[in-house]
Amino acid sequence: MENISIRPARPAELATVAALRWEWFAENGSADPGEREEFVRHFVAWAGENAGSHRCMVLVRDERVIGMAWLAVVQRVPTPRAPRRASGDLQCVYVVPEARDGGLGGRLIRAVLDGARELGLERVTVHSSPRAVPAYARSGFQESPRLLQAQVSRV
């Protein structure tokens, strides 16, 4: 049986997580992503600066990080009944290609959702690639007629 765990990323693993993000970018056909080492340095610094709002979970097999998922926590405007409100956005879910299609991505998504429940978040949204929609649906995500978006810049 494989030694698989899902847990919060450790600071020493952020360079590895950055490399996964780089791989995701390259895998999705992005042309000229720049220099990898510079990106890794920037990513690690960004993760440290945003640790209060962006939480990274890692999927680990035999002590090797093979997947990641980020939960961005956003504080919401208070209401009289709920003075402390927050929601989340599931971001950058990635599992290395050789570990896909065996349910590990779903386990990673569900671990992030469990963490969101522990934080008392009202909801979690995700912007998905078409390939990943079934995985999110299996984990409880549903289309919402009330969630709208406006593209304000090209990324």
Q: What is the mean pLDDT of each run of 10 residues along the chain (155 residues)?
A: 90 97 83 83 97 97 97 96 94 95 95 96 93 92 88 76
pLDDT for the residue 20: 96
Q: Which residue has the tokens 């494989």?
A: 2
For residues 58 and 67, is the Cβ–Cβ distance under 8 A? yes
Provide the residue count of the chain. Answer: 155
Give which of 121, 125, 116, 111 is closest to 67, Cα–Cα: 111
pLDDT of residue 28: 77
**Looking at residue 149, what is its pLDDT?**
83
pTM of this structure: 0.90
Q: How far apart are CA 123 and CA 141, in angstroms?
A: 10
Q: How far apart are CA 133 and CA 147, in angstroms?
A: 16
Angle at 11 between CA 109 and CA 31, to 5 degrees: 65
Task: Give the pLDDT score at 114.
Answer: 97
102's tokens: 């065996």
DSSP string, 116-127: HHHTT-S-EEE-
Amino acid 155: pLDDT: 59
- Predicted pLDDT of residue 78: 94
Provide the CB-side half-sphere exposure for 130 (13 A, CA). Answer: 0
- Tokens 């050789």 — which residue? 98
